[in-house]
Structure 1
Amino acid sequence: MVHGRPEFTGRIEVRGLTKRFGSFTAVDGLDFDVEPGRITGFLGPNGSGKTTTLRMLLGLVRATHGTATIDGHRYAEIANPLTVVGSALEATNFHPGRTGRNHLRVQAAVAGVPDSRVDELLELVGIPAAARKRAGGYSMGMRQRLGLAAALLGDPRVIILDEPANGLDPEGIRWLRGFLRHLADEGRTLLISSHMLSEVEQTVDDVVIIANGRRVAQGTVADLRGEPTAYVRTSDPERLTQALRDRGLSVAPKGRGLQVTTEDLAVVGDAAHASDVAIHELRSEQTHLEELFFNLTDRDEHRNRNLDARPSGGLPVDLPPPSGPPIDPALLAEPVESGEPGERVERRASTTPAMPAGRPDDDGRPR
């Protein structure tokens, strides 16, 4: 139930979603679903269209064709969306001169959320001590936590995160894993984009894998892995093969041993013992998400076609614009001579935008 709407489910549906930037096809007829109460991993190589898809889902980019809806509604149709959908797409989307607490207070004011919620979330994500420090001095991990706090301001039922584990240390990653599981157990819908395949495997329930803007696989992690198997190396492969097949198991040669379709190693051991066959090696085998990912995305039909479509003169002129503010051309200029002979002055990019003299900063102190 979300704000008096018991019919709200939080289900995400993407149907025929396509986005073209000139001749560059970022997303191509994409279909997938994200169910409430589950964590869905959204995976794909660089340039596969993951971030563009998330931006279309959040109404930041207009789709060329198709739909991306939350509970049957486009993002722009949701009243006070921050209380329904929380998102964190970039860990650098903060004013560097503003404190972490004031960054959240600005967003809270837009959503009609009290300041008490800001302090609660700073405590929840583990950065209360840094709340009054400027975000420009935050580490990458602290920015990730601040972004997560911003996504949760309106107590949303749908949470969309892009690379949330980037910059976190092992302890922080373990904390994030447990925190995301807690949110899913509350019935929330979580869509997580990530490149950290080993971590995703320990975190998510379902996986959507895309390449060249198209879906190449979707399902639970267990379903995508396929049937569990065992590998056995023995002194008499033919005799053990017959014994295992007599027990109704599928057996195939593999390297110097046999691959048996079962997760019960005891069955293999019992068959070998009953047949008086020595076992030299016996272990479980399982397709890991990383292996599955590369098996799918390394196929010729799924290789990034846009990387091979660049004209000889350089980068395509119709690529999507980069995120973030434009770069001041003056910052890229060559060093210029000062008024004093023999003295050179270099132009350097500032990490903090200049403020007018005398203007107070977020903490109320004049500059």
Structure 2
Amino acid sequence: MPTTGARVEVRNLTKRFGGFTAVDDLSFNVEPGRITGFLGPNGAGKTTSLRMLLGLVRQSAGTATIDGQTYRELDRPLTVVGSALEATNFHPGRSGRDHLRVLAATIGAPDSRVDELLELTGIPAAARKNAGGYSMGMRQRLGLAAALIGDPRLLVLDEPANGLDPEGIRWLRGFLRHLADEGRTVLISSHMLQEVEQTVDDVVIIANGKLIKEGTVGDLRGAATSIVRTTDTESLIGALRVADVEAVVREDGGVVAQTEDLRLIGDVALRAGVPIHELRPLAADLEQLFFSLTEGTNRNLGDAENQPAPVMTDAVDGHEGANL
């Protein structure tokens, strides 16, 4: 049965730690049925923003809502939001299965739900071992299983690929895509665009706590282009312009044509009698673009961004924060 995802709206979100502003007037949306990458260099304010969304840190200004409600206003929040902000928030002497059973008991879920998630995340063989002996990759999978215990409509993950081997990363991509295809909302943070560019649909890039860019991965890539190499660049460029295709010569002598239609370029070159030595799509270097957008913005947060999430002393009715 399709699941209706929860829409996240962040508006003018700000967090100050004394005289330091960790998150500065941040606004963006996260849409249902899509995977959104929340990206930025280390210390950009990503984790602090997620903690405010999940009710673990009180904002200085602005709002962060889930279907129009703050986390603390949600009825049975674990059935709406599942989160994993760190892969160490479990009792090291407790088995992975028992860790999940405790979480399941808080929302009245049966043990069969625990067994289902152990199978789904690929850790049934390790389920009876103490979680303190898990590898980082196994801890990530246990954290993901914990986030899914309430069958939530929104999944929030902080650096979920940390500690995963290439096979695990491939599995994670497919698993998150499956959740989004069911209609759920998936929000994942990372400081490396390369880790998530094959996974996400949308990106929100921040630096120094401020929004740098928001849009689809396609928007980030820009217009589709192709690279052509020939010994007669002037004739090729002229022929392409007659065919309404703009083209320019790069410093290395390659011709960049403003189209991804390789057949069109080949036909134009053939009619013009221009030899072609190379013809291929020119993929945007998203990693380089990411670094250019955030270059020089990294900062030393001291203790602000990297402190464990505080427990809010005025929380009531089980709304003290997300299931980390």
TM-score if structure 1 supplies the norm length?
A: 0.80
User: Which segment drifts farther, 266-275 or 139-148?
Assistant: 266-275
Q: Distance in 2 between matches of 1:128 and 1:9?
A: 28
Q: Distance in 1 between matches of 2:188 and 2:84?
A: 10
Match of residue 322, structure 1, among 303, 307, 310: 307
Residue aligned with 2:277, SS: strand
Shift of 1:232: 1.4
Shift of 1:319: 3.4
The answer to whether the aligner puts 1:73 opposite 2:69 as a matched pair is yes
> Counterpart in 1 of 2:238?
242
For 1:95-244, what aligned pairs fall within 5 Å after superposition?
Answer: 95-244=91-240
For 1:270-285, what aligned pairs fall within 5 Å after superposition?
Answer: 270-285=267-282
How far does the alpha carbon of each residue in 1:125-162 deviate from its partner, in whole angstroms, 9 at most, with x for none? 11111111111100111100100000000000010001
Cα contact 2:51–2:309 (8 A) shared by 1? no
Q: Distance in 1 between matches of 2:24 and 2:234?
A: 49
How far does the alpha carbon of each residue in 1:226-280 deviate from its partner, in whole angstroms, 9 at most, with x for none? 1011111211111111100000011112121211100011212211111111122
Q: Distance in 2 between matches of 1:276 and 1:182?
A: 49
Q: Distance in 2 between matches of 1:236 and 1:108?
A: 69
How far does the alpha carbon of each residue in 1:20-40 deviate from its partner, in whole angstroms, 9 at most, with x for none? 101211110101000000011
- The residue identity in structure 2 corresponding to 1:10 is A
Residue aligned with 2:223, SS: coil
Q: Distance in 1 between matches of 2:199 and 2:309?
A: 30
The size of the alignment, in residue pairs, is: 309
Q: Distance in 2 between matches of 1:230 and 1:213?
A: 36
- The residue identity in structure 1 corresponding to 2:62 is G
Shift of 1:320: 5.1
> Counterpart in 1 of 2:36?
40
Q: Distance in 2 between matches of 1:274 and 1:250?
A: 17
Residue aligned with 1:193, SS: strand
Residue aligned with 2:37, SS: strand
Cα contact 2:43–2:305 (8 A) shared by 1? no
> Counterpart in 1 of 2:11?
15
Q: Which runs of 5+ in 1 are unaligned?
A: 308-314, 326-367
> Counterpart in 1 of 2:315?
none
Cα contact 1:221–1:289 (8 A) shared by 2? no
Q: Distance in 2 between matches of 1:126 and 1:212?
A: 37
Q: Distance in 1 between matches of 2:138 and 2:293?
A: 34
Shift of 1:283: 2.0
Cα distance change, pair 23–59 in 1 and its aligned pair in 2 (3 A): same
User: Which segment drifts farther, 254-263 or 140-149?
Assistant: 254-263
Cα contact 2:193–2:286 (8 A) shared by 1? yes
How far does the alpha carbon of each residue in 1:273-293 deviate from its partner, in whole angstroms, 9 at most, with x for none? 111111222221121321221
Residue aligned with 2:93, SS: coil
Q: Distance in 2 between matches of 1:224 and 1:170?
A: 25
Q: Distance in 2 between matches of 1:16 and 1:214?
A: 10
- The residue identity in structure 1 corresponding to 2:308 is S
Q: Distance in 2 between matches of 1:265 and 1:281?
A: 11
Cα distance change, pair 128–205 in 1 and its aligned pair in 2 (3 A): same
Match of residue 267, structure 1, among 264, 275, 282: 264
Cα distance change, pair 320–169 in 1 and its aligned pair in 2 (3 A): closer
Shift of 1:9: 5.0
Q: Which has the higher contact order (CA 8 A, sep 6+)?
A: 2
> Counterpart in 2 of 1:57?
53
Cα contact 2:45–2:209 (8 A) shared by 1? yes
